[in-house]
Amino acid sequence: MITGASRGIGAACASSFAAAGYAVCVNYQAAQQAAEDVVGSIRSNGGKAIAVQGDVSVPEQVDALFKRCDQELGTLDILVNNAGISSPRSRVEDLPLDALHHIININVIGLIHCSQHAIRRMSTHRGGRGGAIINISSGSAYIGNPHEGVHYAVSKGAVNSFTIGLSQEVASEGIRVNTVSPGLTRTDMPNPAKLEEMAPRIPMGRIGEAQEIAEAVLWLASEQASYVAGANIRVAGGRP
């Protein structure tokens, strides 16, 4: 299951996992047609996928999302917690509290709720066969995003801390929990003007592509990363 998989990094992850032989649950919040397009592309290449609506900040919708995945795809092996928002862009003093609650509900609480569902299905202590949870964080957690997105950076800092704690909590239950922290990546989330401005400042001299992030996620889910837990892989073209 990949949350927020209708576009960008989530869509790239969906395609990569399908190509590796996984049946994929493409979760989306509102962009149904985009999600169906991702599923259609996977199926046209011989893969198996379903698109399932669900706002990760709404508990009942998360419950329904996992139930449908169980019914149509069977046992959950991998969860990629990709769903997230960064708007509105604002200085801290001007940030409406309802906007702060919204970003925390999606980026942190929703991610934790999805992880709870995954643990209940994967844990060998509960009769599961193990699995992997990969959280998508951001370099913003290190940089802080002053003047426009401190709240977003805070939410991703929480994701990093959650990975550290949860990875130790469930490692003996056959579940590996890791994080990928992308740098500036060509998706519809960053401000396009910022992408062009920042590209020359990145050590590699360019913006990352969603597929490059997906490759790191896929590796963490694979047996090649069987001894990796609690890691936070920075995929950012050399930028700290």
- Catalytic residue positions, numbered: 152
Distance CA 18, CA 20 (A): 5
Write b or e for each residue in 198-218: b if 16 or more Cβ atoms lie within 10 A of its Cβ, otherwise e. eeeebeeeebbebebbbbbbb
Beta strands in the chain (DSSP E): 24-28, 49-53, 78-81, 131-136, 175-182, 232-235
Neighbours of 10 (CB within 10 A): 29
What is the DSSP-derived secondary structure letter of residue 136? E
